[in-house]
């Protein structure tokens, strides 16, 4: 293997889902060394030619697009954040993407946006669908418990400055009270669902503060989360990169969409209904006595992704 490969890194990310997406790439290199490049600083890379897997959410700093000419990208499982769309799809940005088309898109929203710009694109789904359960737990590991990861987390209010009385402060206060009420109701529905189950429930968050945990620690926690998903009987979440690995591991998933009404969240879910049920917490009672069956629809996407990755590595 004469090529030098790199995976995206996330020094400032609090979301273990980012690290899980990179783990989906690393599985193809096993014990081989693979570089890591900061997703939001690809434009300043000046090292030797490197082949980079461009799977993931783009991006926190759209003004840093496009990447360095020393990067040879493989666009698969690519998501374009709606708030970054204008900058990333400038004349220069579109020209760059056309140079490396076809672009494999993580969701149908991204596929449609790129297609409307004249960029050849297709719905690839996510590389995390190629993760293997046997790589995280022994083959005959018995499944136990219900794993609940970050349910309705976006309904949890963020802190804001109340020291200044402005229209924005008043609006934020009203918005916070509304969100708190929605979160309280949604959690009551979830807890009622869990109270009707024979299996115990375990709660975890997919978010880790980068100021308190190093990048290596967050990466290790992402692997631990994958192990937990692989051992669970049922996963309940509002996080795509908890749900998709669960699908890959044959773990039933209930995806709760409360709090995901903004276009930034809704866009990421387009196409995901192929792999797991997306429901409001009001509909949880419909699943009390019958959990969803593990999805099989992902297999076609996973097999195609595996072939594409093999070709990119060996070509």
In DSSP terms, 170 is beta-bridged to none
Model confidence at 168, in pLDDT bands (50, 70, 90)?
low
Residue 109 has pLDDT above 80, yes or no: yes
% of residues, the chain, pLDDT over 90: 88
Tokens of residue 295, six digits: 């999805």
**pLDDT at position 165 over 90:** no
Helix (H, G, I), strand (E, B) or coil at 21: helix
What was the pLDDT predicted at 36?
98
Segment (H or E) for 25: helix 16-26
pLDDT of the residue at 170: 42
| Measured distance CA(43)–CA(161) in Å, rounded | 35
* 212 vs 30, more confident: 212
Tally of CA atoms within 13 A in the half-sphere of 72 that contains its CB: 10
pLDDT at residue 17, rounded to an integer: 98
Measured between alpha carbons, how far is residue 5 from residues 32, 97, 123, 258, 270 in Å?
10, 19, 24, 38, 30
In this structure, are strands 56-58 and 71-74 parallel, antiparallel, or unpaired? unpaired
Q: Which of 306, 305, 310 is nearest to 5 (CA)?
A: 310
Q: Which pLDDT score is estimated for 118?
A: 98
Distinct helix (H) and strand (E) counts, the chain = 9, 13
Q: What is the mean pLDDT of residues 16-20?
A: 98
DSSP letter string, 165-227: --HHHHHHHHHHHHHHHHHHHHHHHHHHHHHT-SS-EEEE-SB--TTTS-HHHHHHHHHHHHH
Q: How many residues does the chain have?
A: 315
Contacts for 139 with CB less than 8 Å, ≥ 6 apart: none
Question: Is residue 200 pLDDT above 50, yes or no?
Answer: yes
Helix 215-231 / helix 16-26 crossing angle, nearest 10 deg: 80
pLDDT in tens, 243-273: 999 999 999 999 999 999 999 999 999 999 9
pTM beyond 0.85, yes or no: yes
- Across 12-21, 29-38, 92-101, 110-119, least confident range: 29-38
pLDDT at 163: 40
Q: Is the pLDDT of residue 164 over 50?
A: no
Give 6's pLDDT tier (boundaries 50, 70, 90). very high
How far apart (Å, rounded) are the C-alpha atoms in residues 15 and 182?
23
Q: What is the pLDDT of residue 30?
A: 85
Per-residue confidence (pLDDT) for residue 54, from 0 to 100: 98
Half-sphere exposure at residue 110, Cβ-oriented, CA atoms within 13 angstroms: 34
Average pLDDT taken over every residue of the chain: 94
At residue 307, does pLDDT exceed 70?
Answer: yes
* Cα dihedral across residues 245, 246, 249, 253: positive or negative: negative
- Of the pLDDT bands very low, low, confident and very high (cuts 50, 70, 90), residue 201 is very high
Predicted confidence at residue 195, as pLDDT, reads 97
Please name the fold of domain 133-297. Answer: Rossmann fold (3.40.50)
Pick the more confident residue, 30 or 256.
Answer: 256
pLDDT for 162 equals: 42
100-114 per-residue burial string, b: 16 or more CB within 10 A, e: under 16: eebbbbbbbbbbebb
Is the predicted pLDDT of residue 209 greater than 90, yes or no?
yes
In whole angstroms, what is the distance from residue 303 CA to residue 83 CA? 32
Distance between CA atoms of residues 57 and 71, nearest Å: 18
pLDDT in tens, 211-249: 999 999 999 999 999 999 999 999 999 999 999 999 999
User: Residue range 286-292: average pLDDT?
Assistant: 96
Q: Summarize pLDDT for 137-150 with one digit per residue, the tens.
A: 999 999 999 999 99
DSSP assignment of 32-45 equals S--EEEEGGGGGG-
Residue 315 has what pLDDT? 81
Domain ranges of the chain: 5-130+300-314, 133-297
Which residue reads 């990333």 in tokens? Answer: 88
pLDDT at position 312: 95
- Give 83's pLDDT tier (boundaries 50, 70, 90): very high
Sign of torsion over alpha carbons 120, 125, 128, 217 = positive
């Amino acid at each position: 293997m004469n090529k030098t490969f790199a995976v995206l890194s996330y020094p400032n990310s609090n979301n273990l889902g980012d690290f899980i997406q990179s783990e989906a790439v690393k599985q193809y290199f096993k014990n081989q060394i693979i570089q890591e490049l900061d997703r939001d600083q690809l434009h300043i890379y000046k090292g030797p030619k490197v082949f980079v897997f461009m799977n993931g959410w783009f991006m926190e700093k759209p003004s840093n697009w496009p990447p360095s000419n020393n990067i040879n990208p493989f666009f698969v499982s690519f998501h374009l954040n709606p708030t970054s769309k204008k900058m990333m799809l400038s004349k220069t940005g579109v020209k760059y993407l056309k140079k490396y088309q076809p672009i494999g898109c993580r969701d149908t929203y991204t596929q449609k946006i790129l297609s409307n710009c004249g960029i050849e694109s297709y719905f690839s789904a996510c590389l995390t669908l190629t993760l293997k359960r046997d790589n995280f737990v022994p083959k005959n590991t018995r499944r136990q418990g219900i794993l609940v990861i970050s349910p309705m987390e976006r309904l949890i209010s963020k802190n804001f400055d109340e020291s200044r009385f402005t229209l924005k402060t008043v609006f934020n206060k009203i918005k916070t009270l509304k969100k708190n009420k929605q979160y309280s109701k949604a959690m009551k529905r979830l807890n009622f669902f869990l109270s009707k189950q024979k299996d115990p429930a375990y709660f975890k968050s997919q978010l880790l503060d980068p100021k308190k945990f190093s990048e290596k620690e967050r990466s290790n926690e992402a692997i631990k989360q994958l192990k937990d998903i692989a051992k669970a009987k049922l996963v309940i979440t509002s996080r795509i990169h908890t749900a998709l690995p669960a699908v890959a591991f044959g773990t039933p998933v209930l995806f709760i969409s409360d709090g995901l009404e903004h276009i930034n969240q809704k866009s990421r879910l387009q196409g995901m209904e192929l792999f797991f049920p997306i429901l409001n917490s009001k509909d949880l009672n419909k699943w009390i006595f019958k959990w969803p069956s593990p999805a099989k629809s992902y297999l076609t996407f996973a097999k195609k992704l595996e072939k594409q990755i093999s070709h990119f590595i060996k070509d």
